[in-house]
């Protein structure tokens, strides 16, 4: 599907729709829209059987208006230059949208990771890092990769280790990549961050009574029916946080197919079933659907595409029966389909906002690496003591006595994870308000995606102004 639809064109169609609402000079808009640098590489790796295979890979840096540039690395057999450019552009707009001070980048390695052993994947990752390093496409001040589809903490730790081996003098070397394991300089809460952000963002969208009334829905997440396509890191955690908030998961999809149960699916049991049988199909009590895309057409309140791009297209968008589409994946809805959903009164919460939790917490990890100190280390005990003093004063004033357990419950200082999650929540809440304000500024004419793009374009334009490049 992604072969027929040019992904970068789709992103640019969204961009153009939003740019028409702004008054920025044409040349400046062109500069923002263009993908600045693309490095395509081919390198050999030795397979376990001694044979040599040539691997194709890319890194695109869409915009260096802020440095470092930032964005994940995807391992997938469909990776191509158009996709990497489009995803790097989305990173630029995403970072600007949620006020994370990075430019946008994205990398991709064209492999089907299931066909490689762990040691082969390690050799591919280390060689890819070396190639990036040789051309100046990686470094804590230049370009900072992260996980994306098909990669995770293990690959990130190989990248960090390779980079550090090449740059012994760089005291900030660990900041060359984010999404690392905690023991290798990662930050607590990063793994769950994108899924948690998807939950926070959807919760914000569902908190406005007027907007919900237009959809025929009440406010809040509790009791809403949810369908999730893709149970990777993002989809799994989104499912978990929606369930914990009282939503009912009525449909789940993976690449082998989809399952449907209007009474609700238990995400942990589905994951255990998949680990055991290698498939989500035939889950007890649920109905099998032949294709993963069938899940997109299930009746529900909230549909969360959390897999790949170009899933909701002109071909199937009229069969979408959700009231809200929350884009957890990057680019799951084509420009034409997005417009059509809007006309049909379906609310689309755009990817560049909704899945920004990952890069937001990557930003926190990068800050941690540069500051060389765990969040909360300096203030945790100090705050605990301050709360205890306050509680003591309240007890003295009221004559009430709290037990030590109660005091401990009220007076614990924040851990790193508490602070990361609080920073993430703050980002998702305030960013949603910025989108709504921008929409209101334009008489509520633009949809949420267009409003989010306008916010991003305005932010980037200001930076170019600050740099003195454009008046």
User: Maximum Cα–Cα distance for the chain, whole Å?
Assistant: 79
- In the complex, least distance from residue 100 CB atom to ligand GLU, rounded to whole angstroms: 9
Catalytic residue among 66, 85, 106, 323: 106
**DSSP conformation class of 142:** T
Per CB under 6 A, contacts with ligand GLU among 73-132 are: none
- Chosen residue from 139, 173, 232, 358 binding ligand GLU by CB under 6 A: 358
The region of 14-22, 43-51, 199-207, 357-365 touching ligand GLU under the rule CB under 6 A is 357-365
Angstrom distance (rounded) from CA 16 to CA 101? 23
Query: H/E element holding 269?
Result: helix 267-277
| Least CB distance to ligand GLU at residue 195 (A) | 12
Say how far apart CA 236 and CA 404 lie, in whole Å: 38
Residue with smaller CB distance to ligand GLU, 70 or 188? 70
CB contact set of 109 (below 8 Å; sequence gap of 6+): 55, 56, 57, 73, 74, 75, 79, 124, 128
329 near ligand GLU (CB under 6 A):
no
Nearest-CB residue for ligand GLU: 72
What element of type H or E holds 143?
Answer: strand 143-147
Alpha-carbon Rg for the chain, nearest whole angstrom, is 23
Contact call for residue 72 and ligand GLU (CB under 6 A): yes
User: Out of 10, 33, 71, 446, which residue is the one contacting ligand GLU (CB under 6 A)?
Assistant: 71
Query: How many residues are recorded in the chain?
Result: 471
Locate 320 and state its tokens. Answer: 């979408």
Given 10, 12, 334, 362, the residue binding ligand GLU (CB under 6 A):
362
Site string for ligand GLU, 396-435 (x = CB under 6 A): ----------------------------------------
- Is-catalytic flag, 106? yes
Q: Is 66 a residue that touches ligand GLU (CB under 6 A)?
A: no
Q: Of the ranges 70-78, 133-141, 224-232, 428-436, which one interacts with ligand GLU (CB under 6 A)?
A: 70-78
Which one among 63, 355, 421, 427 touches ligand GLU, defined by CB under 6 A?
Answer: 355
Q: Pick between residue 330 and residue 431 the one whose CB is nearest to ligand GLU.
A: 330
Q: In the window 292-321, what residues touch ligand GLU (CB under 6 A)?
A: none
- Residue 280 contacts residue 257 (beta carbons within 8 Å): yes
From 31, 129, 178, 243, residue interacting with ligand GLU (rule: CB under 6 A): 178
Burial state string for 118-127 with b = 16 or more CB within 10 A and e = fewer than 16? eebbbbbbbb
Least distance CB 10 / ligand GLU (angstroms): 16
Specify burial of residue 384 (Cβ count, 10 A radius: 0-12, 13-18, 19+): middle
d(CA 135, CA 190): 28
Q: How far is the CB of 98 from ligand GLU (least distance, A)?
A: 10
Cα(120)–Cα(112) distance, rounded to whole angstroms? 12
Active-site positions read: 106
**Residues engaged in binding ligand GLU (CB under 6 A):** 70-72, 146, 148, 178, 330, 355, 358-359, 362
């Amino acid at each position: 599907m992604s072969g027929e639809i040019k992904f970068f064109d789709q992103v640019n169609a969204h961009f153009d729709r939003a740019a028409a609402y702004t008054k920025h000079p044409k040349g400046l808009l062109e500069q923002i829209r263009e993908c600045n640098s693309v490095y395509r590489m081919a390198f050999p790796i030795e397979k376990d059987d001694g044979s040599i295979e040539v691997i194709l890979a890319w890194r695109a840096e869409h915009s260096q208006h802020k440095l470092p540039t930032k964005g994940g690395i995807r391992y997938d057999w469909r990776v191509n230059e158009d996709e990497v450019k489009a995803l790097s552009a989305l990173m630029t707009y995403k970072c600007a949208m949620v006020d994370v001070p990075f430019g946008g980048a994205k990398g991709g390695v064209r492999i089907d990771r299931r066909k490689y052993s762990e040691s082969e994947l390690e050799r591919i990752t280390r060689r890819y890092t070396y190639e990036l390093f040789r051309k100046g496409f990686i470094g804590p001040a230049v370009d900072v990769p992260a996980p994306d589809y098909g990669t995770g903490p293990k690959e990130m730790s190989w990248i960090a280790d390779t980079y550090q081996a090449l740059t012994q003098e760089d005291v900030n070397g660990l900041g060359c990549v984010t999404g690392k394991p905690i023991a290798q300089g990662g930050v607590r809460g990063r793994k769950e961050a994108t899924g948690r952000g998807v939950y926070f963002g959807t919760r914000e969208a569902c908190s406005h009574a007027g907007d919900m009334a237009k959809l025929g829905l009440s406010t809040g997440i509790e009791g809403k029916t949810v369908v999730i396509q893709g149970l990777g890191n993002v989809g799994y955690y989104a499912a978990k946080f929606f369930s914990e908030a009282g939503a009912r998961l009525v449909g789940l999809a993976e690449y082998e197919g989809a399952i449907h149960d209007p009474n609700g699916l238990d995400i942990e049991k589905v994951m255990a079933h998949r680990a055991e049988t290698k498939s989500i199909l035939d889950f007890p009590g649920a109905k099998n659907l032949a294709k993963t895309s069938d899940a997109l057409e299930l009746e529900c309140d909230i549909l969360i595409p959390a897999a790949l791009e170009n899933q909701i297209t002109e071909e199937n968008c009229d069969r979408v029966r959700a009231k809200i589409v929350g884009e957890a994946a990057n680019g799951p809805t084509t420009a034409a389909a997005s417009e059509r959903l809007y006309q049909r009164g379906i609310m689309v919460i755009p990817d560049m906002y909704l899945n920004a939790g990952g890069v937001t917490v990557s930003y926190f990890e990068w800050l941690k690496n540069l500051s060389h100190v765990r969040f909360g280390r300096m203030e945790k005990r100090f705050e605990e003591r301050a709360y205890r003093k306050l509680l003591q004063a309240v007890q003295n004033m009221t004559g009430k006595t709290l037990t030590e357990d109660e005091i401990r419950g009220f007076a614990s200082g924040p851990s790193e994870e508490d602070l990361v999650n609080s920073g993430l929540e703050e980002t998702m809440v305030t960013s949603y308000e910025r989108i709504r304000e921008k929409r209101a500024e334009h008489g509520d004419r633009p949809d949420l995606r267009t409003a989010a793009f306008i916010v991003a374009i305005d932010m980037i334009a200001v930076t170019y102004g600050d740099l003195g490049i454009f008046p």
